[in-house]
Amino acid sequence: MVRQVGIDGGTGSPGIVTLIAAILLPPLGIFLDRGITPAFWLGVVLTIIGWLPGVLFAVLLLLIPERIPIR
């Protein structure tokens, strides 16, 4: 049986690379964690509005995903 391991090592929590990407370029951090989903597009819109709203959304989405149900 082949086990696939994600960027975060498969632990279910975001890896350091994903968190750094979420801070520097929020849509990239969301993409690395969830792929192209509505959350990704919302992150793009928030980042276009301003860098800080995009970063806040991305970091919260990565750290407490069960509280933000956008998949």
Per-residue confidence (pLDDT) for residue 29, from 0 to 100: 95
Q: What span, in angstroms and rounded, lies between the C-alpha atoms of 19 and 30?
A: 9
Per-residue confidence (pLDDT) for residue 8, from 0 to 100: 46
pLDDT tens per residue, range 39-54: 999 999 999 999 999 9
Per-residue confidence (pLDDT) for residue 5, from 0 to 100: 45
Q: What span, in angstroms and rounded, lies between the C-alpha atoms of 27 and 42?
A: 9
pLDDT tens per residue, range 5-44: 445 455 567 789 999 999 999 999 999 999 999 999 999 9
